[in-house]
Amino acid sequence: MAENHELPEDIIRNILARMPTKPLVRFKCISRNWNLMISDPNFMSSRSRRMILFPAYPFYAIDTAILRHNDTMIKLHSSQIFKNGRLCCFVGTLNGIVVLTNGKTKNENMIIYNPFTGALKIVPDHMYGHVYGFCYGTTAEDLKIVRLRVVDNTRRCEVFCLKNWSWSQRRFYMHWTPLGFHPGVATAWSTPIMNIGDFKLHFLDIRGIFVEGFLYWPVESCDNNSSNWVLSLLVLNVNEMVFSQIRFPPDCSFWYTIPLGTLRGRLCFVSFRKSDLCGRGPEYELWVRNKESWSKVRYLASLWRIRYVLKFDPICILDEGKLVMFKLPNKLIFYDLLKDSYEETHEVNELKNLPPIELIWPGRSIEYVESSISIGF
């Protein structure tokens, strides 16, 4: 009688959970049982594999767990819809779902996309050239897209609920003024000016970052009766749909070439402080936002000394505390913000195929956690 050499399913599951993404995707083709196992949301939750997604078609991602491996870049499932243009803009990512626009023209689409499965859906009634945020309400399953815009001089904050697959409208005081490129900021995306209450706001990024129930947009603001612009954050309490504004720490400037990020689930940013009369500076510092205040984590000595930000192009901050920078022509620098040290990857040939503009504007790349979640809401 022939012996049964098959491994028990729990052992196979344990082995697959430790596999890098690239072979794991291929393993789905081995059998129906393996396909079902790998596609199981509980299996994906046990992996919690974090990836860096680059915003150019065809889509590539980097598995941050295998940076020293020669097979770091992973080509993702894509759709014919992305072939209309190589440019795209990420609105945000939650629960393994990515919201993006696939162009920067009036014909662009807003798309909800799962990079692991390749599944996607087009958001209805998308309109070009507004301010966005991807967030959730009272539960993590209550996913929403926030859009700020003006229609026929009516100021609106609109919310798209993925569960209901529909937009709802909420009016508030906001005036939209078209603006091209902000002086001194190299961006491929127009950043708008609008009025909210008594303040005029110039958005430094059209995409808000969602942290613990709040959406944050970096802005320059000034009183309507003043011409002095101040860097600050526009904040939206998603559950209450109330806007407010918070300042950055005293004597600190938000360095717009480095995007906002999260550090272990808390909002963070890298500040730049110029030289003062006491001979201190210039210097970079890492700050995190607590519930009601800012806390300085550390002084980033080598970030200034070696001129990382001037030599290379920052593209995103990872939640584990690493600043990712692009080094021409095909390398990445992972600067550890907590240890003030860095690691340089080997040459990644696929990076040569990405248009430079996709990488150099901060926040164009994002970190997401793999998921097999369905987007057939």
**pLDDT tens, 220-277?**
877 666 667 778 888 999 988 888 888 888 877 776 678 899 999 999 999 887 665 5
Confidence (pLDDT) at 180: 30
Class for the domain spanning 48-369:
mainly beta
Domain coordinates of the chain in residue numbers?
A: 1-47, 48-369
Whole-number pLDDT of residue 279 = 53
Q: Which helix (H) or strand (E) holds 231?
A: strand 230-237
Residue 361 to residue 341: CA distance in whole angstroms: 23
What pLDDT is stored for residue 246 in this prediction?
87
pLDDT of residue 242: 84
Residues near 123 by beta carbon (within 8 Å), at least 6 away in sequence: 99, 109, 110, 111, 112, 145, 160
Cα–Cα separations (whole angstroms), residue 92 to 2, 3, 206, 264, 327: 53, 51, 11, 17, 24
Query: And the tokens for 123?
Result: 């958001």
pLDDT in tens, 140-171: 889 999 988 766 656 678 899 998 999 987 65
| pTM for this predicted structure | 0.81
Cβ pair 373, 116 in contact under 8 A: no
- Which one-letter DSSP state was computed for residue 55? S
pLDDT at position 174: 43
Residues in the chain predicted with pLDDT less than 70, given as ranges, are 1-5, 18, 20-22, 41-42, 44-48, 66-72, 78-87, 103-107, 128-129, 150-155, 170-199, 223-227, 255-256, 274-282, 306-311, 353-363, 376-377
CB 82 within 8 A of CB 338: no
Within 8 A by CB and 6+ apart from 48, the residues are 369, 370
H-state helical runs in the chain: 9-17, 21-27, 32-39, 41-47, 301-305, 308-311, 357-360
